[in-house]
Structure 1
């Protein structure tokens, strides 16, 4: 295969902070990096093609370290619940959706994205609201965070929610006078969703195909995605991705984070020979994903102290003993462990479990806590000591800042979303979007991580601006950080000889422009395996 040489660029290699003019690609890998003259003379006797970068900036391909790609694809065709201003509007929008699409009776209508903070009614929707949409279709609508849901009377009947007299472990069923209101929290919502028929292979593949182009438009060449929760069938999920790879229809690299949260699922994964690192450069298994608490918006994130506006401190999905047990089982089966933890109590419990397994082995386990929004100095020191990866989401700063102080008070607000402190302490950090909860637009994520504001520059001065990171550190957290998290630091995340030739051409140098101009950066071209896909 001929060599392609790219010249006249501002090539931010992320290899020891070196910046180059040019690089060469062959067989999907970087063959050489250097200056224009040296590369052109080096290959003067070989067959090569030259591409002029015209002074544009080149960076390694972006890597979103935690998202829900399949759910993003599902949401593209599901009824849209985002940005609704009232429960009445929800009722109207969904009724119109059912009529327009002629959805047959008894067909489940499942979607996600409503946010009660925007509702003029200033309350959660309930079964009686959803009954106004339909009593013939079972309806399950998750809040934008995914940690609270509401179902209608038809779904309550089909899913036997009315027969559950006690709250499930790690969850809650809201009731009035002993009657379920339709509001399900944490594991109660998970149980309801688990009873819905699984998604077929063809439906999974169609939804994924609809999402790939959107990733490429954002310069994303690798994703680490948790999809099992959303299709409810491990065999169907694995078959779907493997067929897409065999068909040559995986345009980005996929690392699967598998929510194997029961002994049965762990056994099923073992029967397929699944464990971390199994697979290819385009499709492989990542970590075992668990949830230890909920979300800030739902007030179900597990906090050490009570919330300021709610007389409790959130929900722990597992007891410490059960969490220790499951973490140990997953690790012994060959999985890296990745656990959702937002509140400081959840992070503390997860670190306790990680400390126990760290004593059982000398291996670098690279355990992960996803979100870690509320920490403190002691917890961050434990992250460093145990080499726990902090997988955090800049977009959460951009959307959460209006509600943080109301929820947890000033003191805890000042130590929240502590991205810069994590980096300065030497904690491994990987940025991600948690899409579709937030956008996977990486440029916007870098802007938010640096400026600590939303795209309208609010709040003025930035939210906990001392925790803003440098543009270079933000870039690393979307490239080298995620590569380390998925054990790929020796093959991707840098523009370096023998690394996979995944790279993005930008309209400006995000490490050099004024910080408030970062969001104006355009993705000009995206390359995966040395092939231009945008």
Structure 2
């Protein structure tokens, strides 16, 4: 048993099946959480209950349930995720040109906070086939309507929204700006990537009170799926301000790592003028639970129909430069690496992933002691590049988890491939992210789908399925803490670390991910989610 002096106010948790996530995959039965929210003892029932009797501590019976450290979600869009359920209208994925206007006006589509965008109507869905703004103009001739789509890489607007944003109806083409057009060349209102910039900067932003309320709602949703730490993948000045204020008032029950956007503007919904000043002043936004030494670059787009904006490799093996959206990546990463800031680069194609690794290799030659950087998504990695993740100490952030095994993935003709076996065989440091913005943020269901894939990378293990489950649980916990530099304070159930843990209705360490339900989530020893109360 490991132990240290506890305090009055400590609680002894006993009779559990505790997966500590330590490297030896050790299990315990019980532990003590001190008044300061850390683990003061971890051991057997007899050891912990003996301490509880001597020190007259209250006890909590875990009833043989599975316990593990809280989940680290490596890729979250906290405002988009909350807005999608509370502030964006949802016309439904079966919306068409003929029914979209009626859907937006229907009572079923109403949102409690839809009014926060001024006189604009903002919604979200994946796509409307053959979209034309006339479908929205019929019902909304004068009201700006903006619908987010394409997994965050597209927008659909009516004529009023285009004009309010400053687009001409015959907007000219520009690099990395994809406009869909009518036969006469005028805009249909559907656009992708950098074409979205004017709209992203133009539509009204909610008041800070609503931003903070939405962040707290989003954190509550994450608590319900076992998350106690996450990386905010597209941070801007508004999000940083809200997090700082929430932490100052003691309301932020979550560890947050904020990747402040370097480029492009539409990802942050903020202009470079203020965004880059915030990046320079990142340390002033740091607080007890918020780490701000993280940066985000979106290097290419997505391998999704009909956009295909990912940067691949040409037939001759060269990077497709026409899809690379950032021309000063090397200079920017070098500057931020020298500051000790962790860079996360969005890459979905073989070409963009190679470019990011090339840039990381260059900065590591000039600054050998720099931070551990990341590649976000890793859905397009060439065979030659898998070994480079370990060689360059780069985290392979695998997201969105919902697409690991999905009809969209299977129809991508190999463009979307989260290859866990190859990453593991080459010793890459892995994390998993939900990429929560418009979908369910739960990661555990996807773990059931990759279990066999991970097991295939462990052919010599006596029980490959259980070993694979333990590997996945460590990826969700300890590996996440290491990726963001918090491994000394969280990520495992060990004496002296923060008491961030979850109670689950089945043994994830044996691979029982399918249908798993989080029964409780604790952050720094405080229960922040109780499934029984949430169902009342």
Q: TM-score range by the shorter chain?
A: 0.7 to 0.9
- Measure the CA separation in 1 of the matches of 2:171 and 2:102: 33
**Closer/same/farther in 2, CA of residues 371 and 224 from structure 1, 3 Å limit:** same
Match of 1:457 in 2: none
Instruction: Find the residue that maps to 1:492 and give its secondary structure.
Output: coil
- Measure the CA separation in 2 of the matches of 1:468 and 1:109: 49
Which stretch shifts more, 500-509 or 47-56?
Answer: 47-56
Instruction: Find the residue that maps to 1:172 and give its secondary structure.
Output: strand
Judge conservation of contact 1:71–1:227 (CA < 8 Å) in 2.
no
Match of 1:68 in 2: 77
* 1:14 to partner: Cα distance: 0.9
For residues 163-216 of structure 1, give each alpha carbon's deviation from its aligned partner in whole angstroms, at most 9, with x where no partner exists. Answer: 785434332223343312212110111332122233321120121122222212
* 1:219 to partner: Cα distance: 1.4
**Closer/same/farther in 2, CA of residues 291 and 107 from structure 1, 3 Å limit:** same
- Measure the CA separation in 2 of the matches of 1:510 and 1:76: 29
Say how many residue pairs are matched. 495
Aligned with 2:358 (options 352, 365, 377): 352
Match of 1:440 in 2: 441
- Measure the CA separation in 1 of the matches of 2:144 and 2:229: 36
For residues 386-442 of structure 1, give each alpha carbon's deviation from its aligned partner in whole angstroms, at most 9, with x where no partner exists. Answer: 11111112634356x434464435xx67xx211222122111110010012442113
| TM-score where L is the length of structure 1 | 0.85
Alignment of 1:396-435 (within 5 A): 396-398=402-404, 401-404=406-409, 406-408=411-413, 416-435=417-436
Match of 2:196 in 1: 189
Match of 2:375 in 1: 369
- Measure the CA separation in 1 of the matches of 2:159 and 2:108: 17
Judge conservation of contact 1:148–1:184 (CA < 8 Å) in 2.
yes
The root-mean-square deviation of aligned C-alpha atoms, in Å, is: 3.0
Judge conservation of contact 1:170–1:186 (CA < 8 Å) in 2.
yes
Which stretch shifts more, 85-94 or 335-344?
Answer: 85-94
* 1:12 to partner: Cα distance: 0.3
Which ranges of structure 1 fall in alignment gaps of 5 or more residues?
117-122, 307-311, 454-465
**Closer/same/farther in 2, CA of residues 531 and 404 from structure 1, 3 Å limit:** closer
- Measure the CA separation in 1 of the matches of 2:520 and 2:232: 23
- Measure the CA separation in 1 of the matches of 2:517 and 2:194: 41
Match of 1:21 in 2: 29
Judge conservation of contact 2:52–2:59 (CA < 8 Å) in 1.
no
Instruction: Find the residue that maps to 1:161 and give its secondary structure.
Output: coil
Match of 1:458 in 2: none
**Closer/same/farther in 2, CA of residues 503 and 34 from structure 1, 3 Å limit:** same
Match of 1:300 in 2: 309
Which ranges of structure 2 fall in alignment gaps of 5 or more residues?
1-7, 266-271, 455-463, 531-536
- Measure the CA separation in 1 of the matches of 2:275 and 2:366: 20
**Closer/same/farther in 2, CA of residues 79 and 100 from structure 1, 3 Å limit:** closer
Does residue 92 of structure 1 match 2:102? yes
Judge conservation of contact 2:445–2:516 (CA < 8 Å) in 1.
no
Judge conservation of contact 2:282–2:292 (CA < 8 Å) in 1.
no
**Closer/same/farther in 2, CA of residues 483 and 100 from structure 1, 3 Å limit:** closer
Judge conservation of contact 1:174–1:181 (CA < 8 Å) in 2.
yes
- Measure the CA separation in 2 of the matches of 1:43 and 1:106: 56
* 1:76 to partner: Cα distance: 1.5
Does residue 203 of structure 1 match 2:203? no
Judge conservation of contact 1:80–1:111 (CA < 8 Å) in 2.
yes
* 1:238 to partner: Cα distance: 2.4
Aligned with 1:518 (options 513, 520, 527): 513
Instruction: Find the residue that maps to 1:162 and give its secondary structure.
Output: coil
- Measure the CA separation in 2 of the matches of 1:99 and 1:499: 45
For residues 35-65 of structure 1, give each alpha carbon's deviation from its aligned partner in whole angstroms, at most 9, with x where no partner exists. Answer: 1122233455324122121111110011111
- Measure the CA separation in 1 of the matches of 2:471 and 2:127: 32
Match of 1:460 in 2: none
| TM-score where L is the length of structure 2 | 0.84
Judge conservation of contact 1:394–1:445 (CA < 8 Å) in 2.
no
Judge conservation of contact 1:106–1:138 (CA < 8 Å) in 2.
no
